[in-house]
Amino acid sequence: MSTTLPRQCRALRQWLPEYAEDRVSGRRRAAIAEHLAGCAHCREEVAALRAMLASLHAVEQEAVPAHLLAAVRTSLRGPVAARRLPTVRRAPSLWTRLAVPIAAATGLVAIAFALRQPLAPRAALESAPAAQTAAPSPLRRTRAPVVSPLPTPDHAMPPRAASGGRRAGPALPRDQVMGRGRAPSLARAETRPGAEELPGRESVEVARGAAGPPGPPAPAASAPAAAAEAAPDAVPQAAQKEAEGADLAGGEVNGAISPSGPRARRAIPPGHYTRRHGRGVRPERGRSGHPAGAAPGRDAGPSAYRLESARRPPARAAVIQTERGQAIALRLEPSMGRKVKVYAGNQVIRPTGESADRVLLPAGGMSASPSQVAITVSSEAGDWKYTLFTPGAGQLGKQQSTAVRRYQLEPLGQVLADLSTQSGLVLLVEGSTARKVEGELPLAFPKEAVAQLAEAANLDAYTEDGVVYTLRPRR
Amino acid sequence: LLANQAKVAEVPELVALAKDGDRRAFDRLVELHAPAIYNLALRVTRCREDAEDCVQEAFLRAYMGLHSFRGEAAFSTWLYRVALNVAREQAKRAGRLPLRASELLGDDPERAGPELEEIGWRHSSQPDPEQAAVADQRRRVLLRALRTLPDHQREVIVLYDLQGLSYEEIAQVLRIRVGTVKSRLNRARLALKDTLRPHLDLLREGS
């Protein structure tokens, strides 16, 4: 632009911003003023600069989220800060850096999947809670659904957990778990242009990638399945079949969300995680590939989990187990959780009663197999129970880390208070923003699905961009 | 950097205490500086979540490197530099590309994503909804336009025009000469103005 200007304009142009701000003085100021008097173009430039600067200066600073200050304080009292090394601090392990994004990515996938789940007839769903509440029994070994229903918060810690025991589980070969087995599916999902056409399938693939491929005992099981794992057991077969069929067809919306179909039935043995010890435990690595589908319950080496003390809660995306079925996503808002209890399988892996603004994320889940952690948040509104799925994570290559990163969730909003709605399914986030990066992955919630979901749940849905939906109770 | 003089006066003593291991003093420093650091991180990383990470990381680094702060510059400036480095790393990792000028209005969520400026309207203090909407739109366009600039230009605008640092402070933060700060800022503002040219009416409205 400036190249086409008269020479004098070009010479003065660089001073115009400062002139517009009245920061030029003396002879230069006089020269500019003189030039402006005779040059409409430059006058216009100055006016434009002034308008721009005024607007810029009017941009308000954003308030610091309260949880952030708390998190900073926590991190300053964490193990890393305690070392207070003279040199640059040791970089957090790759695991640490990726834990949250991975959890988030998985959760996001779970959201996408859940919303694309075919919706079972309402009657089917309605029958679920009865069965659920009627059977608050310990988990069954064979049908795993680790947290369906969750053990009550006061559930005693099983001896194995208490003794800092060992875990067992159907581990997957490492390369399948997170590395080479996983990246391609993510990459494929990212780049395939027609992905939008088959939302159901695409979601399945992505989710599968995020959580590791199926093992022999449950060939179809994967993250989406896992996402639905905690589904009530009482969903009628017919509904399940319908659900499955619709799923493969790309997911039609029928009015209420079904807990998943048979694919969801994947056994995760109880005792999948065990408590090793408290804060700042590094995840144990080198627990290499047990054959897929190793016998549940068999000791498979020591496990550990890590308290993410320096970061925000890893539980930013999760599948929620409501009274009536399985719901979708949340962020465990630090200010919200009064007490956080974390169950893995049916074991409490974090003692109750601590004020917690964070959640333990089992390293076992990150390094061995797709698995889940159930989280109970107790608050004045009652206990909320979540199931957080962690992807299987073996060695994380660079490729995954970037791929995973791409799907990282923006901070999600508050969870809506009442999860037990008429429909059985609440879309529970307010102000949720699932960031969609460059449009590679069709993560936008299908509009119709959201609309029907909201309708069924007696919620109002708002969206400005078709990506982010806010659902609020109807007035 | 800090909102008022009383706070500024408080800082050196707090720093000294924190160096002696007083965590509460450092907490106070965090409290005083968090808004500036957070907003800086928001503008550099262009992602709320990354910005939060960045703030945590920055304070952690500052805490652990406090002994290396020798008071040659203001603590705030030093902290800014730490935060800026963290934010740059974060932004680089995230690999976000600059927006194109054609995307300023951002009707295409696929490309732009629901980013900061879309969320930011809730913070608007405009009482009148109509004006608030205009202000919101203005802010959105502005911040998006900012994202079209190359990093080094965006940084000076963020530091000078949004964060209110002086030339000298910016020179210390960026470790460049004051003259360079000025020329870079001028160039950045001109570039920003050119990007905003189609939206000048919006900028003038109510401003």
Q: What is the pLDDT of residues A317-361, one digit of tens each?
A: 333 333 322 333 333 333 333 344 434 334 343 333 333 333 333
Residue A8 confidence class, pLDDT cut points 50, 70, 90: confident
- In angstroms, the separation between the Cα of residue B11 and the nearest Cα of chain A is 18
Tell me the C-alpha distance between A34 and A5, whole Å: 17
Residue B98 has pLDDT above 90, yes or no: no
Residue A367 has pLDDT above 70, yes or no: no
Residues 6+ apart with CB under 8 A from B47: A410, A435, B94, B96, B115, B116
Q: Which residues of A touch B161 (CB under 8 A)?
A: 53, 56-57
Q: What is the ipTM of this complex?
A: 0.85
pLDDT computed for residue A253 by the predictor: 23
Q: What residues 430-469 of chain A have any CB closer than 8 A to a CB of chain B?
A: 431, 433, 435-439, 444, 464-468
Nearest CA in chain A to B188: A17
Q: Which residues of B touch A97 (CB under 8 A)?
A: none
Residue A288 has pLDDT above 60, yes or no: no
Tell me the C-alpha distance between B64 and A214, whole Å: 44
What is the phi/psi pair of residue A461, to 5°? -110, 135
Residue A377's DSSP bridge partners are A340, A384
| Three-state secondary-structure class, residue B112 | helix
Of A42-56, A58-72, A137-151, which has the strongest mean pLDDT?
A: A42-56
Contact state of B49 with A410 under an 8 Å Cβ cutoff? yes
Give the nearest partner residue to A433 out of B114, B124, B200, using CB atoms: B114
Residues 6+ apart with CB under 8 A from A139: A145, A146, A147, A148, A151, A270, A345, A346
Residue A299 has pLDDT above 50, yes or no: no
Q: Which residue has the higher pLDDT, A188 or A64?
A: A64
Residue B80 confidence class, pLDDT cut points 50, 70, 90: very high
- In angstroms, the separation between the Cα of residue A400 and the nearest Cα of chain B is 13
Tell me the C-alpha distance between A223 and A221, whole Å: 7
Give the nearest partner residue to A63 out of B36, B123, B182, using CB atoms: B123
Nearest CA in chain B to A54: B207
Mean pLDDT of A125-146: 29
Q: Considering chain B, what is the average pLDDT of its residues?
A: 79
Contact state of A51 with B200 under an 8 Å Cβ cutoff? yes
Contact (CB, 8 A) for A321 and A147: yes
Selection from A414, A449, A418, A412 nearest residue A432 by Cα: A412
Selection from A261, A269, A145 nearest residue A204 by Cα: A261
Contact state of B114 with A436 under an 8 Å Cβ cutoff? yes
pTM for the structure as a whole = 0.44
Contact state of B114 with A15 under an 8 Å Cβ cutoff? no
- In angstroms, the separation between the Cα of residue B48 and the nearest Cα of chain A is 7
pLDDT computed for residue B22 by the predictor: 86
Residues 6+ apart with CB under 8 A from A405: A101, B93, B94
